[in-house]
């Protein structure tokens, strides 16, 4: 049941996002768009409540409960960012909005990566806290190995994101110089 609900919540997230953006850009109804997009956190609340009820009714905690915690952590920490990311691209593609502007070089890119890593760290910490709550709730009577496994995975997720951001800081990508940009032209253009 939990897996089906997670799938329903994920599909619901993308349907609400598509519906909200369609209302904003094609139907020209920005207020209705906001109302639809504000329904998205309801999905996480429903998933959280159903997961807690499932555990309360004696279900053995397993990978499904851990996945629910991870999904909730992602939605809380990265849901708004995901909506903005998609919104900018839809606005550019279908409504004449400005192109997406993700920094590509230097410290600006490193800062962008650290901000993104901070979101993933928050998602991991939220998931770990929910998982810890489930561990305490189940207590010593139940098998909590799968919940602990998901906590370890969240530590790996945090570590990987910190490592990615650190590499952009230690080894910043340099913008191509004008000289090398000219040299990158196809050979037939260099004769012009």
- Give me the pLDDT at residue 179, please: 60
Per-residue burial over 12-30, b if 16 or more Cβ lie within 10 Å, else e, is: bbeebbebbbbbbbeeeee
- Give me the pLDDT at residue 181, please: 54
- Give me the pLDDT at residue 40, please: 84
Q: pTM, whole model, 2 decimals?
A: 0.80
Give one DSSP letter per residue of 104-126, joined into a string.
Answer: -SHHHHHHHHHHHHHHHHHHHHH
Tell the residue number behind the tokens 């590499």, with chain if given.
167
Q: How many residues does the chain have?
A: 192
Burial of 56 (0-12, 13-18, 19+ CB in 10 A): exposed
- Give me the pLDDT at residue 32, please: 93
How confident is the chain (192 residues) per 10-residue block, as mean pLDDT? 84 91 90 90 84 78 85 91 92 90 93 97 96 83 83 97 97 79 52 50
- Give me the pLDDT at residue 125, please: 97
Contact 130, 73 (CB under 8 A): yes
């Amino acid at each position: 049941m939990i897996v089906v609900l997670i799938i329903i919540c994920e599909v619901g997230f993308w349907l609400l996002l598509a519906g909200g953006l369609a209302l904003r850009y094609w139907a020209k109804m920005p207020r209705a768009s906001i109302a639809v997009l504000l329904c998205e956190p309801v999905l996480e609340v429903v998933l959280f409540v159903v997961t807690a009820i499932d555990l309360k009714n004696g279900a053995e905690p397993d990978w499904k409960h851990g996945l629910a915690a991870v999904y909730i952590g992602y939605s809380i920490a990265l849901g708004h960012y995901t909506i903005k990311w998609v919104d900018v691209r839809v606005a550019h593609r279908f409504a004449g909005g400005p192109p997406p502007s993700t920094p590509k070089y230097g410290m600006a890119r490193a800062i962008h990566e650290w901000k993104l890593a901070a979101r993933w760290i928050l998602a991991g910490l939220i998931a770990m806290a929910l998982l810890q709550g489930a561990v305490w709730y189940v207590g010593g009577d139940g098998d909590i190995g799968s919940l602990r496994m998901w906590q370890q995975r969240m530590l790996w997720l945090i570590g990987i994101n910190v490592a990615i951001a650190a590499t952009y800081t230690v080894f910043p990508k340099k913008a191509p110089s004008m000289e090398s940009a000219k040299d990158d032209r196809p050979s037939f253009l260099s004769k012009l």
